[in-house]
């Protein structure tokens, strides 16, 4: 797989508003599923589905802490990619 193909795959993994919001929320540090549910106003199953996609793509890591599952960004640069995309789309 070429670098361009890998980059395209990255964008496919990020290609949903909820996943972009999750990345931005994780840019401040770890968050647990319950926190995402509260902050995003979505059902837990929906949040978990998006987190699963991000995890399968290798963009986030999950860790069980007592009775909850928390998530971390694997690459802090992801937040900058999302910020840049938001800036570009504001100009249009």
pLDDT, one tens digit per residue, over 13-72 is 999 999 999 999 999 999 999 999 999 999 999 999 999 999 999 999 999 999 999 999
| Residue 32 CB coordination number (10 Å) | 17
Structure confidence at residue 12 as a pLDDT band (50, 70, 90): very high
Rounded to a whole number, what is the largest CA-CA distance in the chain? 46
Q: How far from 90 is each of 41, 46, 85, 86, CA to CA, in Å?
A: 24, 27, 9, 6
| Residue 62 CB coordination number (10 Å) | 17
Specify the 3-state DSSP secondary structure of 31.
strand
Number of alpha carbons in the 13 Å side-chain half-sphere of residue 62: 15
């Amino acid at each position: 797989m070429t670098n361009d193909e890998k980059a395209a795959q990255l964008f496919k993994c990020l290609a949903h508003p909820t996943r972009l919001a999750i990345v931005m929320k994780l840019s401040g540090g770890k968050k647990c599923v319950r926190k995402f549910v509260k902050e995003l106003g979505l059902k837990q199953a929906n949040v978990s589905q998006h987190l699963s996609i991000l995890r399968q793509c290798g963009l986030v890591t999950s860790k069980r802490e007592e009775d909850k599952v928390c998530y971390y960004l694997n690459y802090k640069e992801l937040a900058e990619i999302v910020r840049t995309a938001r800036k570009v789309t504001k100009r249009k």
